[in-house]
């Protein structure tokens, strides 16, 4: 820039006038070598004088304008802070009381006694299957059982009085108990024609219509769900095995419901999946309003690490050398607003948003270069802006 300015100045002087008031053009046109050399000497002298003046001005500016002399940076003073690291996971809501009911008896589905969305109690009759005459068989066998019982009781009274033979008494007893077992077995089969609720819950879906022929263990009749005992399942990397234990506080967020719940880890699996090196955790979910449904996705945050006196710095100011070591620039020998940049090798820990914990290399009270950290060198004097 200086040379351009000097060149323009010389050209202007050259064009405007000569050293003795004669224009440069007239001197050149005279073709007088002596006059031309004289004009050259005059211009060189002026150029030298201007260069010396510019040098003096540059020195004065360098002395007075100190801002341009040093790199401008900002600094932060590190202080101990309460640091909490959270492990973030994805989970899915589940319930152990969410089942599809299958019949234990094959036949015609003669009657469905409930409706979808209806709340039922444990043991309540949900549907009835045609017994195919089984009830009549039970009634006939109960008549035979009554006769066998009467015969046995009579033989027992006689035998107690030492009347009759022991063989007749034993035959009557065996006939009575055999008939009794047969009736109980048939009643057990008849009970399977009634589909009852295995637990208290809500009839979520009726799958098979009334009047359909269904098969034992193969036909889906209805789905029964209980929304009281809900829980979350999530997979955790094995590296957190020592940090995630039962009782750990967990913050649950349901994006669909825009709702937060604070709860605790209730169970930690003892098995590590060899395919993805994770273990499962279970988190109990309170569901008083019954609006949390099975298979609902959730975001889980678990506080796996805490440090009440942690040193935190922005991640953006950390550099890395050729050896893979992380370093920052700290300000030392600070005098007023100036100081020296010192490269410090650091060891980092866990992150929290844009900040990272420093395990070693920094202490409370140290000043670390923030903005401008990537433009300074070891031992360079910098000016710290407030």
Closest CA to 127 of 63, 209, 72: 209
How many Å apart are CA 49 and CA 53, to the nearest integer? Answer: 6
Q: What is the mean pLDDT of the segment spanning 149-174?
A: 84
| Residue 232: other Cβ atoms inside 10 A | 26
User: What band does 21 get if pLDDT is binned at 50, 70 and 90?
Assistant: low
What does the mean pLDDT of the chain come to? 85
128: its two tokens: 């009835």
- Least confident range from 10-14, 42-46, 189-193, 231-235: namely 10-14
pLDDT in tens, 39-68: 888 888 888 888 888 878 866 766 666 555
3-state secondary structure of 13: helix
Q: Is 277 left (phi over 0), alpha (psi -120 to 50) or beta?
A: left
134: phi then psi, degrees, rounded to nearest 5: -65, -35
Q: Which of 19-28, 132-141, 230-239, 373-382 has the highest mean pLDDT?
A: 230-239
In this structure, the dihedral spanned by the alpha carbons of residues 45, 47, 53 and 56, taken in order and rounded to 10 degrees, is: -110
Q: What is the mean pLDDT of the segment spanning 313-325?
A: 89
Q: pLDDT higher for 384 or 64?
A: 384
Closest CA to 108 of 126, 128, 124, 125: 128
3-state secondary structure of 295: coil
Element (H, E) at 311: strand 297-314
pTM, full prediction: 0.55
CB 277 within 8 A of CB 215: no
Burial (CB count within 10 angstroms: exposed 0-12, middle 13-18, buried 19+), residue 336:
exposed
Contact partners, residue 90, CB within 8 Å, separation at least 6: 234, 297, 298, 299, 300
User: What band does 253 get if pLDDT is binned at 50, 70 and 90?
Assistant: very high
């Amino acid at each position: 820039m200086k040379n351009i300015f000097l060149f323009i100045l010389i050209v202007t002087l050259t064009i405007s006038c000569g050293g003795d008031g004669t224009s440069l053009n007239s001197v050149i046109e005279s073709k007088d070598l002596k006059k031309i050399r004289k004009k050259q000497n005059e211009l060189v002298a002026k150029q030298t004088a201007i260069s010396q003046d510019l040098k003096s001005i540059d020195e004065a500016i360098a002395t007075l304008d100190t801002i341009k002399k040093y790199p401008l940076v900002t600094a932060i003073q590190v202080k101990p802070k309460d640091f909490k690291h959270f492990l973030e996971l994805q989970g899915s809501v589940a319930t152990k009381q969410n089942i599809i009911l299958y019949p234990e008896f094959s036949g015609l589905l003669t009657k469905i006694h409930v409706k979808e969305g209806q709340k039922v109690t444990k043991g309540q009759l949900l549907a009835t299957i045609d017994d195919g005459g089984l009830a009549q068989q039970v009634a006939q066998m109960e008549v035979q059982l009554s006769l066998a019982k009467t015969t046995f009781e009579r033989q027992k009274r006689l035998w107690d009085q030492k009347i009759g033979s022991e063989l007749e008494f034993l035959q009557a007893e065996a006939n009575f108990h055999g008939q009794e077992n047969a009736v109980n077995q048939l009643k057990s089969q008849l009970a399977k024609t009634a589909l009852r609720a295995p637990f208290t819950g809500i009839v979520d879906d009726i799958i098979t219509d009334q009047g359909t022929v269904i098969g034992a263990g193969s036909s889906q009749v209805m789905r029964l769900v209980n929304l009281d005992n809900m829980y979350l399942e999530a997979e955790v990397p094995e590296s957190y095995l020592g940090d995630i234990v039962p009782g750990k506080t967990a913050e649950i967020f349901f994006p669909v419901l825009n709702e937060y719940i604070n709860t605790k880890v209730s169970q930690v699996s003892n098995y590590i999946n060899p395919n993805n090196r994770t273990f499962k955790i279970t988190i109990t979910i309170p569901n008083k309003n019954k609006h949390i449904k099975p298979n609902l996705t959730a975001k889980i945050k678990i506080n796996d690490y805490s440090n009440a006196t942690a040193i935190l710095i922005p991640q953006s100011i950390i550099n890395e050398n050729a050896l893979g070591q992380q370093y920052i620039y700290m300000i030392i020998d600070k005098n007023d607003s100036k100081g020296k940049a010192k490269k410090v090798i650091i060891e980092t820990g866990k992150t929290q948003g844009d900040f990272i914990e420093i395990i070693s290399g920094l202490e409370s009270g140290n000043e670390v270069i923030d903005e401008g950290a990537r433009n300074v060198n070891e031992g360079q004097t910098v000016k710290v802006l407030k």
